[in-house]
Amino acid sequence: MISRLVGFREGLTESGISIPEEYIHSSPYDQEPTRQAVRELLCLPQPPTAIFAASDIQAMGVLKVAQEIGVKVPDDLAVIGFDDLEMADYVGLTTIRQPLDDSGRIAAELLLSRLADPDRPVQHIKLPLTVVSRDTV
């Protein structure tokens, strides 16, 4: 989660965009803490017009709260998640797709290689991410 926030902030900085600290909330993947954080954000005197959630599960909590308090997505609030879980397509959530199958396969291959050769150098592999545009932006 922290690396997603770091990457998000770096992307904003590179684009010349700053984000007020009161817009940054951290909560576990559980729905209720996420919903509470979203309620706080959307009740600010100047609420955000977009929310990047660190997971699709959290993004769905954002969508639920927005619906409950009458905030129209995407007209009043853009929402983007992260992971591209199957349910993201079902609810029309814009999200960032990470290749979960590939990452699992590569992790297993690296582990087996390391077990076979403990002196093998540690490898860091970055897989490409893709924005999947749907109905929430």
Q: What is the pLDDT of residue 1?
A: 60
Contact 27/58 with Cβ under 8 angstroms? yes
Domain range list for the chain: 2-99+128-132
Residues 35-50 have a mean pLDDT of 94
pLDDT value of residue 129: 92
Say how far apart CA 100 and CA 83 lie, in whole Å.
Answer: 8
Mean pLDDT across the stretch 38-58? 94
pLDDT reading at 85 higher than 70: yes
Mean pLDDT, residues 37-57? 94
Average pLDDT over residues 105-131: 92
Q: Which CATH class is domain 2-99+128-132?
A: alpha beta
Indicate the helix (H) or strand (E) that contains 81: strand 78-83
Structure tokens at 99: 């290749």
Tokens coding 32? 């209720």
Q: Please check whether residue 46 is in contact with residue 19, taking contact to mean a CB–CB distance below 8 angstroms.
A: no
Q: What is the DSSP letter of 21?
A: G
